[in-house]
A and B are shown apart, each in its own frame.
Chain A
Amino acid sequence: MAADAVDEATLRDLIPGILAALVHRGADFATAEDAVQEALIRAVETWPNQRPDDPKGWLITTAWRRFVDLARSDTARHRREQRVSNEPPPGPTASADDTLQLYFLCAHPSLTPASAVALTLRAVGGLTTRQIAQAYLVPEATMAQRISRAKRTVSDVRLDRPGDLRTVLRVLYLVFNEGYSGDVDLAAEAIRLARQLAATTDDPEVAGLLALFLLHHARRPARTRADGSLVPLADQDRSLWRRDLITEGVAVLQAALARDRLGEYQAQAAIAALHADAPTADEIDWVQIVEWYDELVGFTDNPVVRLNRAVAVGEADGPQAGLAALAELDPMLPRYTASAAYLHERAGEVATAAELYVQAAAQAQTLAERNHLTLRAATLRHRLSGEGG
């Protein structure tokens, strides 16, 4: 690394280990987390001038000293003051297991999803409160409060027993999927954290989640036009897809599938991989995609999965089959009407499709989606009036 620049991502890769080391040495999680944040800020300020030979050791020492100061200044923690000294006591360094425990703690079931996301991004991801606030479009004071309440909520959780990996995966999925804009690339951050998690555990679902992220992230350059409007999967310029991420995602997925412990994230990644495999939109293996959706329905009886399955059935067996599958679902589901419009369009029922696209636009939950659906309605109407005149 260049001496004149601090690679922020590399620096942040060290965070869970530093925090785990402090907790391992007896620091309480909440104070240790503050101390690590401050050490991180010191690093960004001072390393461009003088980079330590042992960055991790430097961070542990700096964070520990800061922890001591914080603990001392807190009179309510008088007794701890007796125990801590200026230098880190000798002891085992934090292991990969300690890092894993931090992931569990930050995704603890007692936290709301929004709190778990914020705490994970700060304590494991090493992002500042301001960065997280900007990413989620809330005032910094609001995010600071959310994080400090979350820290209080988990302050009594013991770190010595295994947590639930499902909750950790769900938190990372939320970080990846909420594509808000801002200085921080949340999708890239979720991938970084998933990689780190995959390095500390051998659960095939962690690999499945990482593969899912990589395969979807690969499409990002093709997903929106320069003006921010959405490009549907079928219309995306596949030459813009990032082959490096696809290759990696497929490899990670294949290794996970080979272990024969299938789960929902592997199934989702398999669907994404089948899309990535097809050289053109016309060559997608929809029959296999439907099979994977059937697997997925077995893992998670999520109605949105059933909706996507109905659209896939429409591609595999024709739009009428898709509409029949759709008819079994609740019409109040988000994107139900949009899916119906698409299937009717595929069936050549242009007038019906146009009418449904108008309704779907009124129900859309994002502006980009509403614009896209309105545009579809207008395009079909235009085609109809052209045929009529």
Chain B
Amino acid sequence: MAKYLFLKHYRGAPAAVNDVPMDRWTPAEIEAHMQYMEDFAARLRDSGEFVDSQALASEGAWVRFDGEGKPPVTDGPFAETKDLIAGFMIIDVDSYERAVELAGELSAAPGAGGKPIHEWLEVRPFMGAPTTVTE
């Protein structure tokens, strides 16, 4: 098994095919989208491939150490041009192919007009632990 991280972006991903902001959808389209997302996670729980899923707020800041005895420096809110993560899902699957298949399904969530959003999702393999058998 291998773990993969799906990253969904507020900003910074290539434009989706069906790229309409959610507040311009009809209420029924929003509800259909939410249902799809929920069903997707439920299916992964059933198949034993779900690890975690969290949404992130759109606000945040850069923070760094500024020397002994000084408070850390913060820089925020983020600039409009910054790549911004909206949330993530972690899955534990048998292969890269399976991870890509699932990311494709997630990207097919319905949006405006009830049509798939075709949103770009970032798929990142976790670094694994060293295996016991090495040769």
Measuring CB to CB, which residues of chain A are less than 8 angstroms from any residue of chain B? 227-229, 354, 357-358, 361-365, 367, 370-371, 374-375, 377-379, 381-382
Cβ-defined contact, A374 with B57, below 8 A: no
Cβ-defined contact, A375 with B58, below 8 A: no
Measuring CB to CB, which residues of chain B are less than 8 angstroms from any residue of chain A? 22-27, 29-31, 34-35, 38, 55, 57-59
| A381 cross-chain contacts in B, Cβ below 8 A | 23-24
Distance between A380 CB and nearest chain B CB, rounded to angstroms: 9
Cβ-defined contact, B23 with A361, below 8 A: yes
Cβ-defined contact, B26 with A374, below 8 A: no
| A361 cross-chain contacts in B, Cβ below 8 A | 23
Distance between A86 CB and nearest chain B CB, rounded to angstroms: 47
Given the known interface contacts A365-B57, A367-B55, A379-B27, the answer about A374 and B22 at a Cβ–Cβ threshold of 8 Å is yes
Which listed residue (B23, B26, B34, B57) contacts A357, Cβ 8 A? Answer: B23
Most buried by B among A362, A371, A378, A379: A378
Cβ-defined contact, A378 with B23, below 8 A: yes
A228 to B57 alpha-carbon distance, docked (Å):
19
A361-B23, A378-B30 given; 6 more Cβ-contact pairs under 8 Å: A363-B58, A367-B55, A371-B34, A375-B31, A378-B25, A378-B26
Cβ-defined contact, A227 with B38, below 8 A: yes
Cβ-defined contact, B34 with A378, below 8 A: no
Cβ-defined contact, B58 with A378, below 8 A: no
Given the known interface contacts A377-B23, A378-B25, A382-B26, the answer about A363 and B34 at a Cβ–Cβ threshold of 8 Å is no
Cβ-defined contact, A358 with B23, below 8 A: yes
Cβ-defined contact, B38 with A382, below 8 A: no
Q: In chain A, what residue has the closest Cβ to B38? A: A227
Cβ-defined contact, B26 with A227, below 8 A: no
A362 to B57 alpha-carbon distance, docked (Å):
8
Distance between A256 CB and nearest chain B CB, rounded to angstroms: 38
A381 to B23 alpha-carbon distance, docked (Å):
8
Given the known interface contacts A227-B35, A229-B34, the answer about A378 and B59 at a Cβ–Cβ threshold of 8 Å is no
Q: In chain B, what residue has the closest Cβ to A371? A: B34
A370 to B59 alpha-carbon distance, docked (Å):
14
Cβ-defined contact, B38 with A362, below 8 A: no
| B35 cross-chain contacts in A, Cβ below 8 A | 227
Q: In chain A, what residue has the closest Cβ to B54? A: A367
List the 9 shortest-distance A-B pairs measured between CB atoms, nearest first: A377-B23, A358-B23, A367-B55, A379-B27, A378-B27, A362-B58, A374-B22, A375-B30, A378-B23
Q: In chain B, what residue has the closest Cβ to A380? A: B23
Cβ-defined contact, B59 with A363, below 8 A: yes
| A364 cross-chain contacts in B, Cβ below 8 A | 57
Q: In chain B, what residue has the closest Cβ to A354? A: B23
Which listed residue (B22, B38, B58, B59) contacts A228, Cβ 8 A? Answer: B38
A362 to B58 alpha-carbon distance, docked (Å):
6
| A367 cross-chain contacts in B, Cβ below 8 A | 55
Cβ-defined contact, A378 with B22, below 8 A: yes
Most buried by A among B27, B34, B55, B58: B27
Distance between B43 CB and nearest chain A CB, rounded to angstroms: 15
Distance between B24 CB and nearest chain A CB, rounded to angstroms: 7
